[in-house]
Amino acid sequence: MGRHRSPLKQALDIKSRLFAASRLLTLDLPFLRRVFSFYPDRALPSGDRVRVIHRSLYRYPWMQPEFAAQRDFVMTHNVDAYGPSFFVEKDATERFVAEITDVIVPGHRVMPVDPVTGNQIASDFFGSANFSTARPSISALTRHRMSDDYTIVIPRMDHFGHLLTDWILPAFFAVQQAGLKPGDCLNVVTSDRPVSLILAFVEALRHAGFLVTHRQSQLTETIVVPRLLYANCHTNSIYHRFCTPEVLGFAREHLLAVVPPITRALPKRIYLDRGRTRVRHVEYEDQLVALLEAQGFERFTGRWSNLAEQIAIFSQVETVVGIHSGGMSNMLWSGPQALFVEITAEDARESTALHWCSAVGARYRMLLGSPERALQNFTIDPDAIFSAIMAEMTAHEGLRARG
């Protein structure tokens, strides 16, 4: 999201200045970090407090030879974001599940912290956090202690895709790897007023038979967690964090069981609309949508309020067309019956959707618009894009008919 920011804007970024001032105020002392609820660094606690439950590699299906043409196309003019991580393998993500004892969770960001060192708990890399996840607060005013049962922590997050792939699905995976059985007790700590996906996650665990205590942490409190069930995905790319396809069936079954039932007929073809956003506007998008609607497509926007429709629609959808968005992560509920056509700027291609589609066997194709402009906006030729979509649908139907 930081593309096209001028050096001047980056230099004047108020968050980086506030972060530096907060670090100076706390002098990197754990006691002062707890007083101000400011935890600017990330690391794992000492080894005697970390018990590794599971560690394995998920190798990307899209690195296989049958995806070579699409992979080469997507990786041309690619803008995937890579970050600091000890894990540098480019064709795999490492799954990591551990039990970590004696942890605290500040209520303002709901990120687990080691009270001994004052570091946010992280297994993928060690170093500085950022102001968004580490700003000071008044979370030290009160304390609440959870039971000695396993506790899962889901942080404050308003990005659907990252919440689903970085936290919810790894948490389902951790529950399975920890060997928890129906009837076992489990704690879940979230922010106050959690989004619908988090609430559905809690209810899905209950539907699966777990005795769940859900604590919505307040801004003024710190939660004490004796036993944290920690799950993380080690990768050098933020776009490749999804790595747990084996939990998709379990997650879909129990999520669909607790969300409101869908009474309307579900569309087989949708145009996935990003809705009103600040970035990535597409000139002539409405003209393309009109052409698609004439072919039976429904314009659909994923929102926190229609989570049930998102899961249900994508579980049986046949064709999805859309611009890059967090809502694309719903493709993980689909399968080999589905075709996903992603439209993107010619010089700003990302591999996220190919990564997700290959994981569930869905067919993926990328179509290009103009080069990217300010705020990641670009232009398309609606007639040319429409023709290309129809050709992809015909090819997909032919493959399905041949089995």
Per-residue pLDDT of the chain (403 residues), as tens digits, is: 455 555 556 556 788 889 999 999 898 899 999 999 999 999 999 889 999 999 999 999 999 999 999 999 999 999 998 888 889 888 999 999 999 999 999 999 999 999 999 999 999 988 898 888 899 999 999 999 999 999 999 999 889 999 999 999 999 999 999 999 999 999 999 999 999 999 999 999 999 999 999 999 999 999 999 999 999 999 989 889 999 999 999 999 999 999 999 999 999 999 999 887 788 899 999 999 999 999 999 999 999 999 999 999 999 999 999 998 889 999 999 999 999 999 999 999 999 999 999 999 999 999 999 999 999 999 999 999 999 999 999 999 998 888 7
- Total Cβ atoms within 10 A of residue 236: 19
Residue type at position 358: S
Partnered with residue 81 across adjacent β-strands are none
- Residue of 358, 269, 389 whose CA lies nearest to 317: 269
d(CA 292, CA 392): 13
Angle at 104 between CA 102 and CA 106, to 5 degrees: 175
The pTM score is: 0.94
- What is the model's pLDDT at position 9? 61
Q: Which residues pair with 188 in a beta bridge?
A: 152, 214
Which has the closest alpha carbon to 322: 343, 308, 306? 343
Distance of CA 337 to the CA centre of its chain: 23
Q: Which two tokens stand for residue 387?
A: 């023709």
Only one residue has tokens 């794992």, namely 44
Instruction: Quote the CA–CA distance of 180 and 249 in Å, as a whole number.
Output: 17
User: In the beta sheet, which residues pair with residue 82?
Assistant: 237
> How far apart are the two ends of the chain, measured CA to CA in Å?
40
pLDDT of residue 325: 87
Q: Which two tokens stand for residue 6?
A: 């001028």
At 292, list the tokens. 């698609």
Q: Which of 296, 301, 303 is nearest to 318 (CA)?
A: 296
> Using an 8 Å Cβ cutoff, are 230 and 98 in contact?
yes
β-bridge pairing 92-106 and 50-59 = antiparallel
Sign of dihedral through CA atoms 126, 131, 132, 137? Answer: positive
**Secondary structure (DSSP) of 175-235:** HHHTT--TT-EEEEEEESS--HHHHHHHHHHHHTT-EEEEEEE-TTEEEEEEEEEEEEEE-
Instruction: Give the number of other CB atoms < 10 A from CB of residue 128.
Output: 12
Instruction: Please report, for the chain, the start and end positions of each structural domain, with discontinuous segments joined by +.
Output: 10-60+81-258, 269-402
What's phi and psi for 91, nearest 5 deg? -115, 20
21/17 Cα distance (integer angstroms): 6
How many residues comprise the chain? 403
384 phi, psi to nearest 5 deg? -65, -40
- 3-state SS, 289-328, equals HHHHHCCCCEEEECCHHHHHHHHHHHHHCCEEEEECCHHH
Architecture of the domain defined by 269-402: 3-Layer(aba) Sandwich (3.40)
Residue 80: predicted pLDDT: 93
Helix (H) / strand (E) containing 352: helix 352-360
